Amino acid sequence: MAHSATKRSDITLSNCGYSKVLDIISSKWAALVIYAMENGKIRYGQMLRRVEGISKKMLTQTVRKLERDGLVQRHITPTVPVSVEYSLTALGESLLQPMKTLRQWGRDNYTQVVEARVKYDFVGTPDSVPTSPITSS
Amino acid sequence: MAHSATKRSDITLSNCGYSKVLDIISSKWAALVIYAMENGKIRYGQMLRRVEGISKKMLTQTVRKLERDGLVQRHITPTVPVSVEYSLTALGESLLQPMKTLRQWGRDNYTQVVEARVKYDFVGTPDSVPTSPITSS
DNA sequence: CGGGATCCGGCACGATACTG
DNA sequence: CAGTATCGTGCCGGATCCCG
């Protein structure tokens, strides 16, 4: 580190690329909605059914934000009952790979995280039981 | 339920690896705190100064959650004023690469996202201006 | 069919003060 | 030095109803 470097904080929200990405896809449904589009155009109602548990409000809100961020395109076909299809833009598709990398990490390691939590909560909770817990016999 | 596939929703929160990861590092400060530890052990006060804008409350809360999830270790040295150091566990380090991949995407493409927003908000806001906007000449 | 408008509860986050 | 305790607030997300 430089000599008198009074500049202490070198890690900031504003220049962190990861935080910027979170700004785009940290919402609860964003990733799921993107996955629903990874094979090409898909209709609104289709997504509503494919993404388990999402409500119309959240689907619309999520897809709108993604559209605003330039990751998603809307295609409107003015048939009798309107038909609206969504698809990823080139920018949106470019995000798929990095996301998959993280997703793979999650698949590979989430059980370890869950185990760590159980362990942490186990040693953390004791309010009683100073005696050995499982080793009953 | 199996045969005629009435099972429509194939994208769910519970089986999405990406969403699981978000559960771990989607909080505002998590990534920044992890970055503060990527070069090895670091003291509490050091992190407080390195991560711009973080409060003691949020640092403690963030680091505790990461510890609970098994990504971070705490080392306490009972000197006169207590000294506490934090570092990434093997699991925590393994998350570094996937995170960097996303971070790189953010660095490379965030400006495009910002531009898309400006554009979207521009065509979205008009309350007036039915006349062609940019094509002035 | 594909939304928009509204009400509401929970929780992430911030500011401040106190402690061993 | 390294936290904890408490209070307050925004806003994310769910439920419900309405619309063209």
CATH of the domain at A25: 1.10.10.10
A40: left (phi over 0), alpha (psi -120 to 50) or beta: left
Q: Rounded distance, CA B109 to CA B46, Å?
A: 31
Is B54 inside a domain boundary? yes
The whole-number average pLDDT for the span A96-107 is 96
The number of folded domains in chain A is: 1
Is A6 inside a domain boundary? no
Q: Longest C-alpha distance within chain B, in Å?
A: 74
Is B81 inside a domain boundary? yes
Tally of CB atoms within 10 A around A65: 19
Is A12 inside a domain boundary? no
Is A2 inside a domain boundary? no
Q: Does A22 touch chain B (CB under 8 A)?
A: yes
pTM confidence score: 0.87
Question: What's the confidence (pLDDT) of residue A32?
Answer: 97
**Nucleotide nearest A47, from its CA to each C1':** C2
Nearest-CA distance A49 → chain B (Å): 5
Q: What is the pLDDT of residues B42-101, one digit of tens each?
A: 999 999 999 999 999 999 999 999 999 999 999 999 998 999 999 999 999 999 999 999
Question: What's the confidence (pLDDT) of residue A1?
Answer: 47
Answer with the residue of higher pLDDT: B106 or A122. Answer: B106
Query: Which residues of chain A have a CB within 8 Å of the CB of B107?
Result: 17, 20
pLDDT of B122 > 90? The answer is: no
Domain extent for B85: 17-124
**A2, A46 in Cβ contact below 8 A?**
no
Is B108 inside a domain boundary? yes
Cα end-to-end distance, chain A, whole Å? 57
pLDDT of B4 > 80? The answer is: no
Q: Rounded distance, CA B50 to CA B48, Å?
A: 6
pLDDT of A130 > 60? The answer is: no
Q: Rounded distance, CA B61 to CA A134, Å?
A: 30
Is B27 inside a domain boundary? yes
Question: What's the confidence (pLDDT) of residue B6?
Answer: 57
Is B7 inside a domain boundary? no
Percent of chain B residues past pLDDT 90, beyond the cut: 80
Question: What's the confidence (pLDDT) of residue A123?
Answer: 80
